[in-house]
Amino acid sequence: MRRPITLIKPDRQQGYALFIVLMMMVVIALLVVTATQSYNTEQRISTNDADRKLATTLAEAALREGENRIYEIEDGDFPFTDNCISISKTKTKDKDKDKDKDKDKDKDNIKKGLCKAAQVNAGSYLTAEGTITVSGTSKVEAWVRECGTNKCIEKNGKKYEISGIEKDHEEYEKISGIKKPRHIIEYLGTNSADNRTIYRVTAKAWGKNKNTQVVLQSYVASE
C-alpha cells in the first residue's frame, strides 16, 4: 500500500531583511550628509571669525595712527573739507606750472583724510594750537559721505602703512588680497571751559573677504 506523499511548500519570502538594510543605509547616508554640512558650517564660521578679527586688528592700528596724527595737523595749516582732501594754506607752489599737475607732484602740500564734520559749519575756529579752517557744505556724516562712486573714507582716507610695503598700495592689495585700512579725522569743536580741541577719528578696514568690513571710531581731545 502506497503511503501518500505530502509536499511542503516553502514559506513565501517577504524581503524584510532587504528593506531593513536599505533603511539603515538611508539613515547612515543622512547622518553623513548632516555631519558634512555641520562641518562645513563650522568651517565657514571659523573662517569668517578669523577674517573679522584680522579686519578689527587692522582697523585698530589705523585708528591709533589717526589719533597720533592729530598732533601733526593742529597748526591749522591744512583745512578740513567735504571730500577729505586738504591743500596747505601756507606752503608755496610754482605758479608757472599747471595747478593740477603741481598738486600731484608736490605731495607735501596735500593731505588726505581731513574731513568736514556734518554738524560743523564752514569757517575759521581759533584753538590753543592755532586756527582750524573748515570748508564745504556737506551735512552727511563723513564716514558714509560719497566722493564720486566710492565713499570718501575709502577713496580719500589716509591709508595705513602695513609692514613697510606702503610704497605701492595697489600692488600690495593685489598681492595680499586685502585692501589697506583707512582713517579720516574730523574737527568737532573747541571746549570753551578748558579750551581743548575735540576731534573724531574714524577707521575702516577689510578682511581677505572684501565683504568683511570693520569701522571703529574714537574721540580725541588735544591737551
Residue 138 dihedral angles phi and psi, to the nearest 5°: -65, 140
Q: Summarize pLDDT for 45-77 with one digit per residue, the tens.
A: 788 888 899 899 999 999 999 999 888 776 667
| Residue 108, phi then psi, degrees to nearest 5 | -65, -20
Q: In the prediction, which pLDDT does 114 show?
A: 94
- CA 108 to CA 110: how far, in whole Å? 5
Q: Strand 131-134 to strand 146-147: parallel, antiparallel, or no bridges (unpaired)?
A: unpaired
pTM assigned to the model: 0.71
Q: CA 144 to CA 179: how far, in whole Å?
A: 18
- Secondary structure (3-state) at 100: helix
Going from N- to C-terminal start, the domains of the chain cover 18-91+99-221
Q: Residue 105: its pLDDT value, please? A: 45
How far is residue 194's CA from residue 154's CA, in Å, rounded to a whole number? 34
Q: What is the pLDDT of residue 192?
A: 72
pLDDT, tens digit, 9 for 90 and up, residues 1-30:
566 665 555 555 556 677 788 888 888 888
Query: Phi and psi at residue 119, in whole multiples of 5°?
Result: -90, 0
Please give the residue that has the higher pLDDT: either 82 or 8. Answer: 82
Across the chain, what does the average pLDDT equal? 80
| 142 touches 152 (CB < 8 A) | yes
Report how far residue 70's alpha carbon sits from residue 199's, in angstroms, rounded to the nearest whole number.
8
* Contact predicate 155/147, CB 8 Å: yes
User: Which of helix, strand or coil describes residue 138?
Assistant: coil
Phi, psi angles (nearest 5°) of residue 178: -120, 130
- Whether the pLDDT of residue 96 is over 50: the answer is no
